[in-house]
Structure 1
Amino acid sequence: MSVRETYQHDEVSFEDLENDPYPTYKRWRRERPIGYLPDMQSWMVTGWEDCETIGAAGDSVDGFSEGAIRYFGHNILNIDGAPHKQLRASIDASLKPKTVRQYIERLARPIAKEYVSRIRERGSVDATTGLLELVSVRVVANVLGLAEQPDETLQRWFIDLNAGLNNFMQDPDVLVRAETAKAESADFSRERLAELLKTPDETTFAHMLLSNTPDGQPRSFEDLIGTIWVMILGGFQEPGHAAAASLLGVLEDREQYAAVRGDLSLIPAAIHEGLRWIAPFGFAQRRIVKDLEVGGVVIPAGDEVQLILASANRDETRYENPDKFDLFRPRLPVASFGYGSHFCAGHFLSRELEKVTFEEMFTQLPNLRLDPQSAPVITGFGVRGVKHLPVVWDD
């Protein structure tokens, strides 16, 4: 019997995981924290300590993923060593904390203020699709180099790219939408990169094109388009959906809402807890380069593993009452942005953007609360979020 068969998980449906994976994660942490899931042809690692061990395993693992290669092609998530360091340095140029602090108020505050003011007289909105996603795509697009694209197009691109990446049931309509989003964004990016060759600016795309290149020459469109798709999906999705999770957690507990509304300095704690409570990206993929023993299991070289970030964030051995949103819990690092050299480049921009947006919402929308007539919708396995969050406020 192979090691995969020995540690194989019982069958679980993707429908159950899409609807709510947390009961399954809890059972896996208790019964088999490292197990093989045949339907994904991958190991599922669910405990905090084991995820952290593999995430820091150095030359025993790499970022290669068959699924990501098939979907995105060559991209930042699937390269390591010097090529990764060089491309990552070019991406980090506009996203490192020192740089973000210099532009966040100037770039994000006016957008957040305007977008909140647009809805203020309405008295209700789907906070996810009608505000948080829109602020997210507008600000991040301006940083990346997609300022010319309208909000609705950017929103559609990341939603359809996400659906295509997580199209486990191979729905043909989903595939068509995803390929359309890839084609449209590729066409625009090709033109934008050509413009930046002639007139560079300080956007992320310009840095990716021109800085820290291996041979001193600009990177090609083919070198960059896979990473651009990754950034459109992740960069646009994460801040909006992470903010929606934090907002849901705060609004479900009126005492926590009152505390934040009365003291806006608590907003960063609410953001941090939302990232732990509902991780926007459920797992980080790694490939085992040489046999690796973790938690008493020897995972063979060549196998793919999923570090289940969402499960690590609710590990009972690390967090008390982990299924509860509690912004007052002791602040510990969370796994939501991944590990090691593939730690999310946009983590600081995301948190700062959420902070600015919440400050505008809690200031401009009196007595903000969940809409009693319409329930939130939370779905997703690989990419999870509060997809719809109806809220109301006083006139």
Structure 2
Amino acid sequence: MTTFLDDVTVEDLDADPYRIYARMRAELPVAHVPAVDSWFVTRHADVAFVAEHPDLFPAAAPGSPVERSFGAPTIITVDGPVHHDLRRAFDGNMRPKRVEGYVEDLVRPIAARHAAALAGAAASGEPVDLLATYFEPISVLSLAAVLGLDLDAQTLRRWFHGMSLGAINYEQDPARQAEADAVLAEVDAVVVPLLEHLAAHPDDSTLSHMLHAGRPAGDPRPVDLVLPSVKVAILGGMQEPGHGAASTLAALLAAPAQLAAVLAERTLVAAAVEEGTRWVTPIGTQFRTAARDVEVGGATVPAGAGVSAVLASANRDAAVFPEPDVFDLFRHVPGRAAEGPVGAAAAAAGQAAYGFGKHFCSGHSFARHQMRIALEELLAAFPSVRPADDGPVEFRGWEFRAPVALPVLLG
């Protein structure tokens, strides 16, 4: 049996990875994709297996786009004691109970301010792109606040768009890498002096926690140790919530009955967010390296090969989520799944958007709350929100997937 997908291009993946993943789950669940030089693992059970067995599939990714761009070690490309220490450094302000204590006061004013700024567009009847003017700015400013970065939304959005070019540069495009490297140099110029200041003068910011949490007083982690993980946090933490919220609203706008249900019962917003990030998973993979020849999903992955545990594909696996291509927020509402088209609550079986294993996303609680609050504020201010045209929303990307734009009418 062949284990290579020579006919898949990066453009194919960017345009519609879900079509490719569905074909793979049915016919070739584990296969090498030469276009990105990685073995794709696509079925939910196999994705979880890869992510949960660092002895067979360690996170180390020498030469990967992430390490090539951000440096090493990063919190997502290391295991063992170093990962444990970096995770402890980052988790301080991100534990669910801790997040619940500050997230409303931090995020809701940002969301309310951006919703209020849309009033003019609503009154004029002009279309507005909610991705660029609402969801992304809320995402970047919220994470910047919790990290301790005092920067404007325009700079932060430019940062994460530029950084993402390096993080997904599997084809090693020199022009794309040069653009990413220029942005990353700017990040260094801002973040390194701030980290050096916080090393001597700690505060309650997440950046400060990354230096001092779990360390003896006066003995912070070296700036060079935490800097690559700070870049990962900036990219993932700023990208995922804004794009996940935009994808969720796009799905609701295409499902008027479900949008009406959310407008009538705002407690359903959290379920809509959970389904939105399942339906279009903002960060598509967890990357691993095969420690030796390993058999998984009927294929043998050779030692040293790069492996993409495809979270986006796991979230569309019909073995876990019946009718997986259907957006149905009720599958995440205990006792109410039968109201939706799916007819069975599958959420408990393993929503994969935040990964599996010890590299499960540290910021999952903050991201979920941030998406919920952004949608709550928007729907409270503009309950008549509707698509600006009749065409479907265009999505792009496979490692990072989101609407290209989200044009709506608000009034």
TM-score normalised by L of structure 2: 0.90
Give unmatched runs, 5+ long, in structure 1.
none
Task: Give the fraction of aligned pairs with identical amino acids, expressed as a percent.
Answer: 37
Aligned to 1:41: 37
Aligned to 2:265: 263
Aligned to 1:232: 234
Report which stretch shifted further, 232-241 or 34-43: 34-43
Report which stretch shifted further, 191-200 or 378-387: 191-200
Aligned to 1:92: 91
Report which stretch shifted further, 257-266 or 59-68: 59-68
1:345-368 superposed Cα distances (whole Å, 9 cap, x missing partner) = 111100001111111111111311
Aligned to 2:299: 297
| SS class of match (1:334) | coil
Return the offset for 1:175: 2.7
In 1, distance between residues paired with 2:18 and 2:274? 19
Return the offset for 1:164: 2.5
In 1, distance between residues paired with 2:374 and 2:22? 33
| SS class of match (1:51) | helix
- Work out whether 1:370 is the aligned partner of 2:404: no
| SS class of match (2:35) | helix
| SS class of match (1:270) | helix
1:286-340 superposed Cα distances (whole Å, 9 cap, x missing partner) = 1122333322333233222101111111112221211111111223331111111
1:242-265 superposed Cα distances (whole Å, 9 cap, x missing partner) = 001111111111111100001001
- Work out whether 1:150 is the aligned partner of 2:152: yes
Q: Is the 8 A contact 2:111 2:374 kept in 1?
A: yes
CA gap of 1:168–1:43, structure 2 versus 1, over 3 A, is: closer
Return the offset for 1:9: 2.2
Report which stretch shifted further, 60-69 or 135-144: 60-69
| SS class of match (2:404) | strand
In 2, distance between residues paired with 1:215 and 1:196? 13
1:35-94 superposed Cα distances (whole Å, 9 cap, x missing partner) = 112233321101011111111124222111231222221111121111111110110000
Return the offset for 1:226: 1.0
In 2, distance between residues paired with 1:366 and 1:120? 13
CA gap of 1:170–1:63, structure 2 versus 1, over 3 A, is: closer
Q: Is the 8 A contact 1:239 1:353 kept in 2?
A: yes
Q: Is the 8 A contact 2:275 2:329 kept in 1?
A: yes
Aligned to 2:317: 315
Match of 1:349 among 341, 362, 366: 366
In 2, distance between residues paired with 1:73 and 1:193? 16
Q: Is the 8 A contact 1:239 1:354 kept in 2?
A: yes
1:220-239 superposed Cα distances (whole Å, 9 cap, x missing partner) = 22112211111111010000
| SS class of match (2:287) | strand
Aligned to 1:120: 119
Aligned to 1:18: 14
| SS class of match (1:281) | coil
Match of 2:355 among 338, 341, 346: 338
Aligned to 2:67: 69
Runs of 4+ in 1 over 6 A off after TM superposition: none
| SS class of match (1:8) | coil
AA partner of residue 86 (structure 1) = D
Return the offset for 1:375: 5.3
In 1, distance between residues paired with 2:258 and 2:354? 25
Q: Is the 8 A contact 2:146 2:205 kept in 1?
A: yes
Q: Is the 8 A contact 1:245 1:274 kept in 2?
A: yes
Match of 1:186 among 159, 169, 188: 188
Q: Is the 8 A contact 2:58 2:289 kept in 1?
A: yes
Q: Is the 8 A contact 1:14 1:168 kept in 2?
A: no
Aligned to 2:341: none
Count of aligned pairs: 389
In 2, distance between residues paired with 1:251 and 1:87? 40
Q: Is the 8 A contact 2:10 2:36 kept in 1?
A: no
- Work out whether 1:138 is the aligned partner of 2:137: no
Return the offset for 1:198: 3.1
- Work out whether 1:358 is the aligned partner of 2:375: yes
AA partner of residue 95 (structure 2) = K
CA gap of 1:145–1:374, structure 2 versus 1, over 3 A, is: farther
Match of 1:196 among 181, 194, 198: 198
Return the offset for 1:114: 0.9
Return the offset for 1:137: 0.5
In 2, distance between residues paired with 1:177 and 1:55? 31
AA partner of residue 16 (structure 2) = D
1:174-205 superposed Cα distances (whole Å, 9 cap, x missing partner) = 33321121011111111111221232111111
**What do you get for the CA RMSD once the two structures are aligned?**
1.8
In 2, distance between residues paired with 1:198 and 1:40? 42
| SS class of match (2:40) | strand
